[in-house]
Each structure stands twice: as C-alpha cells, then as structure tokens.
Amino acid sequence: MNPEKTPLEAWIKLRFGLAPEDPFTREILEKHQLACFKMILGRVKKQSRFYKKKLTDFSADDFSHVSDLAKLPLTDFKDIANDPYAFSCVSQSEISRVMTVSTSGTTGNPKKIFYTKDDQEATIDFFHHGMSCVTEPGSHVLIMLPGELPGSVGDLLQKGLVRLGAKGIHHGFFEDPLKTLEVISQNNIDCIVGFPVQILNLAAHPQSLDYTKDGIRSVLLVSDYVPDSLMNRVKELWNCETYCHYGMTETGLGGGVQCKAHQGYHMREADLLYEIIDPETRSPVKDGEYGEVVFTSLTAQGTPLIRYRTGDISCFLPEPCTCGTILKSMAKIRGRIMGGIMTGVGRIELRELDEVLFRLKEILDFRVEFRNWHGKDIFELDIYAPHTKTDINEFVEKAVTEIPVLRNCLEARRLEVRIAVSKQWINTGAAKRTMRDLRK
C-alpha cells in the first residue's frame, strides 16, 4: 500500500485559489508559480532598492515558463549583509519581526531578514499543514526550539499546532535530559520537534523508556543535515516515525518537510520556487544531479529574494514520491558549498563523520578540531559518550577509517588522530554543529 499523500499538495492547491474538484498537475502548479513570480518581479522592481537596480533589464514578458528564471542573476548572503534594508518591499513600520543571523567569514555584517504579519501568517499556515503529516489533532508536541519571543520559530510552530488541534509545549534546548524527560512524562508528550543531537540525547538516555511509557509516536528532526545513522537510532530507541524538516531564516523559517514515504522533502511550492544549479556554471542541473539549492520567494514582503543561493547541496529526486504527489521531492542536504575541511588528499565533510560515528550506540555527540603541530596535521575528536561503561576508542578509530579521505591521510601518515572520550557535556547540539579548522 502506498503511503498517504503529503497534505502539502492539497494545501498548495488551495493557496493557488483552486477548488478541491479542480484538476491539479505539475504543469498547472508551475503556471500558478509563474503568475506569482511575475507579480513579485513587478513588486521588487518597484519597491526593493536592491532589485530595482539589479533587475532593471527584465520585465514580466521575458518569462513564459518557470525554467526561464534561469535568465536572472543570482542573489547571495553578502548582498543581504551589505544592505538588508535594500530588499524590503514595505515600510519599516509594517515589519513585525526582524531576525539577525551572523554570517561566517571576515566581512562581519550579520544578515537581517524582515517579516511582515503576512509573511509570518504564511509560515504558520505551512507549519499547520506540514505538521499534519507528522502528527494529528489531539497530539501533545514538545517544541525544543527557540520560542520565547513572538514570531520566533517555536512561537510560529505553536500557533500552527493550535490550528491543527494539537497542543505545542514550549521547551527550548535542554541542558539536563532527565529534566526534559520529566516534562515529557508530565505533559503526555507523543511528538517532539527539535535538533537531531538533542533528540538523540533524550531517546538514548538509560531511563528514557520509563518516562515515555505511552510512547513517542513521531519526531520531527530540524536541521540542515540529519544523519541517517542518527535518525535510525532514534527510530529504534523509541519505535517511532521520524521526519526531517528543511528551512532557514531566509525561507521564512519553514521550507519543506518529508511525507509518510520518508523520501525527499516536499517544499512550500506556493511560497517558494526552488531550483538546483551547478555552483560553477550557474546553470540548472538535471533532476537526480546534485548542485546548489536556490530559491525565489513567491509571496514574501519583508525580504523577498530572487534566485537566492542557499549554499546547501542537494538534488531533486528523479522519481516521483511514492505518496503520489505532483510536488517535487528534494533529497536531504548533503553539505555546504565549500563546507568541510580540506586535507592534503581531499575534503572531509561533517556529514561523513556523522554517519559513521552516530552508528555507534555509545556516542551521543562529538566535536572535531583540526590543528597543526610542528608541520603535522592533527585531527582531534572529542566524543561525548555519557552512558558507556567500556572503552570505545578502538571502535571509534575503526569507524573514522571508514571515511576514505581520513583513511588515505592516515595511510600516507599525513595526519594524526587523537580521540578523547568524555562523559562531560561537550556540546548541547543546540548550536550549529561544525568542524573547526585551527591550522592557520
């Protein structure tokens, strides 16, 4: 039996003003996306200082298919950091929330993204329908995301859950898993939304099952990259369904969510038009080919973005989803353009370490630093394994040599690996997990 069709399809159809009995094909969806794009193009050319200048040579008549967007120049995070106010299509008095995101690199300026009431409403609407795939009315959902401020991701998610008829309980990031397990038990939580490492730390706690007697039915893992190995462990430990969400500040926090087929992400296609491009040639790639994820806002008012480079690497899955939707499926993010750390024999990605290390049931988090000591590269691995009673160094060593670049470095004696296993809390998993290159 095929899994239930993603609820996002019916929602997107409704958002385009179509009735349930109207036909809905990929072609029809793209026609509506094109019409929305033409409207936003007209708006940004009139009201956004940045695009007024940048898109001066383009008019709505230049576009007869969504693929024609490839004619347009790209926008990247530096453009926003340089002058965030130049993007807005409304006066500052109409902005109800600003999110500031620090950017990596030495240029320093943080990105500011603006949201109007309507922008936030669109995100709440997405959370409502997206969560209807993950859980159901009557459910009690623990929200382990920032949610103190109005308009924060946790706040918008809670509002979406109310519309679904479910109850969202704000929790934020935890420091003591046992205390959070008590909250889960007291509130009869059956669904959890949070960062992957945080959720793993709850599921793998030795007393976890005592506090989740009624069962955690489903978990939504929110991150740019969710390791399969970690997801499988959570699934086994709690015997639950696991879903992944993809989104960022620039997409209005929500971006896409897996359906019950657990394949690619289905995206908010009424609000966002996604493309995958070759980061070198900047041309669109074929379905099934990996490239950089680029999106165009179709409805945003605070910070509408035209062909925005996310820096994330993914592909559109070439086969339609088994849920039977006409929506596209985007594969899980594989990493960042220029992410990872360069060694003498190739690049090592955090994703590769995540996959081999989270397979070991003792490991609940880890931290990586590359150093240089008298001309020799040192790969330092701090493992967080709070519940282990045995020496796991040998297993960790074996696991890291499964990564071809690390194995080659070790064989060529270009690298020394130092492993430290600790029961001390090294990382809450709440901050963005990265590998640190301290060799300079």
At its nearest, how many Å lie between Zn ion and the CB of residue 72?
29
DSSP helix/strand/coil, 286? coil
- What are phi and psi for residue 163, nearest 5 degrees? -65, -30
Q: Name every residue whose Cβ is closer than 8 Å to that of residue 309 and which is 6 or more positions away in sequence.
A: 74, 75, 76, 77, 279, 292, 294
Of 252, 245, 242, 249, the C-alpha closest to 272 is 252
Smaller CB separation from Zn ion, 33 or 325: 325
**185-244: contacts with Zn ion (CB under 5 A):** none
Dihedral sign, CA of 30, 310, 265, 142? negative
At its nearest, how many Å lie between Zn ion and the CB of residue 33?
19
Smaller CB separation from Zn ion, 323 or 396: 323
Using the contact rule CB under 5 A, the part of the chain among 36-44, 204-212, 321-329, 418-426 near Zn ion is: 321-329
Q: Which residues lie across from 157 on neighbouring strands? A: none
User: 417 is written with which tokens?
Assistant: 């690996």
Q: Name every residue whose Cβ is closer than 8 Å to that of residue 108 and which is 6 or more positions away in sequence.
A: none
> Is residue 122 within the footprint of Zn ion (CB under 5 A)?
no
Cα–Cα distances (Å) from 212 to 182, 202, 266, 324, in that order, read: 9, 10, 30, 34
Smaller CB separation from Zn ion, 284 or 324: 324
Smaller CB separation from Zn ion, 151 or 320: 320
> Is residue 321 within the footprint of Zn ion (CB under 5 A)?
yes
> Is residue 261 within the footprint of Zn ion (CB under 5 A)?
yes
At its nearest, how many Å lie between Zn ion and the CB of residue 264?
8
Using the contact rule CB under 5 A, the part of the chain among 122-130, 151-159, 323-331, 394-402 near Zn ion is: 323-331
At its nearest, how many Å lie between Zn ion and the CB of residue 145?
24
Q: Name every residue whose Cβ is closer than 8 Å to that of residue 21 and which is 6 or more positions away in sequence.
A: none
Of 159, 134, 136, 162, the C-alpha closest to 253 is 159
> Is residue 80 within the footprint of Zn ion (CB under 5 A)?
no
Q: How far apart are the C-alpha atoms of 386 and 380, rounded to whole Å? A: 19
Task: Name which position in 6, 75, 218, 314 contacts Zn ion (CB under 5 A).
Answer: 6
Distance in Å from the first CA to the final CA of the chain: 55
Smaller CB separation from Zn ion, 90 or 317: 317
At its nearest, how many Å lie between Zn ion and the CB of residue 164?
19
Q: What does the chain come to in residues? A: 440
CB 302 within 8 A of CB 62: no
Say if strands 265-267 and 272-277 run parallel, antiparallel, or are unpaired: unpaired
At its nearest, how many Å lie between Zn ion and the CB of residue 193?
19
Using the contact rule CB under 5 A, the part of the chain among 44-52, 149-157, 258-266, 291-299 near Zn ion is: 258-266
At its nearest, how many Å lie between Zn ion and the CB of residue 255?
15
Smaller CB separation from Zn ion, 266 or 336: 266
Q: How far apart are the C-alpha atoms of 275 and 70, rounded to whole Å? A: 9
Smaller CB separation from Zn ion, 323 or 399: 323
Smaller CB separation from Zn ion, 9 or 365: 9
Smaller CB separation from Zn ion, 189 or 321: 321
> Is residue 323 within the footprint of Zn ion (CB under 5 A)?
yes
Q: How far apart are the C-alpha atoms of 227 and 355, rounded to whole Å? A: 6
Cα–Cα distances (Å) from 52 to 44, 219, 429, in that order, read: 7, 43, 41
- How many residues bind Zn ion (CB under 5 A)? The answer is 6
At its nearest, how many Å lie between Zn ion and the CB of residue 133?
9
Where does this chain bind Zn ion (CB under 5 A)?
A: 6, 259, 261, 321, 323, 325
